[in-house]
Amino acid sequence: MAFDVDLAVARGGRQIAVRFETQARVVSLFGPSGAGKTSVLDMVAGLLRPAAGHVRVDGETLFDAAQGIALPPERRGVGYVPQDARLFPHMNVRDNLLYGWRLTAPARRWLALEEALDLLGIGHLPDRRPATLSGGEAQRVALGRALLAGPRVLLLDEPLASLDRARREEIMAMLERIRDDLKIPIIHVSHDRAEVDRLGGLVVEMG
């Protein structure tokens, strides 16, 4: 998997720009809060339109300002896990997990529900509601929901930021399994250098 990302946008009175081209399995956007890291994820996902630049994944153009190409989010093959999980409160865990799976063409699905439950260690949670989950459990469900949509790229926005030390270790182990066993390319946002170093790959410093 190759990333070729060159993006710029004005947000909050400042210019956000990033450039990287790599075949690394993990790209970490590293820097302090307010550096524009989440905006970069939003631009890659198609949730924020850049003012200039391009996004190419394995040679396929998802966005190119000069050529007028801007694929909608649902056609980009991107799984996005936001910092606060954003599970649907009126749905149980099973329906949250299957939300993206049901919207994904069968040919693009490469993970089944039971496989996701086993991979993430959440086989005891399907009938629970989000309000009853711990922070670590909610984050694992959010990861499962993204994976079940059959993404070719996973975007992770500060996946450990709101967790205590024990839960941070738990989710980091999950991310390492996703990286090593599923081999899904990841663009990861963090302000924690130890987290970035542990995941490895290319580090893009923003600030």
Give me the domains of the chain, ranges plus CATH numbers. 24-46+76-205 (3.40.50.300)
Residue 54's pLDDT is 98
Strands 14-22 and 202-205: unpaired
Residues of the chain with pLDDT under 70: 1
**Whole-number pLDDT of residue 39:** 95
Tokens of 190: 């963090």
Q: What is the pLDDT of residue 110?
A: 86
Q: Which helix (H) or strand (E) holds 19?
A: strand 14-22
As a whole number of Å, the end-to-end CA separation of the chain is 27
Look at residues 37, 36, 27 and name the one whose alpha carbon lies nearest to residue 3: 27
Looking at residue 131, its pLDDT comes to 94
| CA distance readout (Å), 174 to 110, 117, 170, 187, 207 | 18, 12, 7, 15, 28
Residue 133 confidence (pLDDT): 93
Q: What is the pLDDT of residue 33?
A: 86
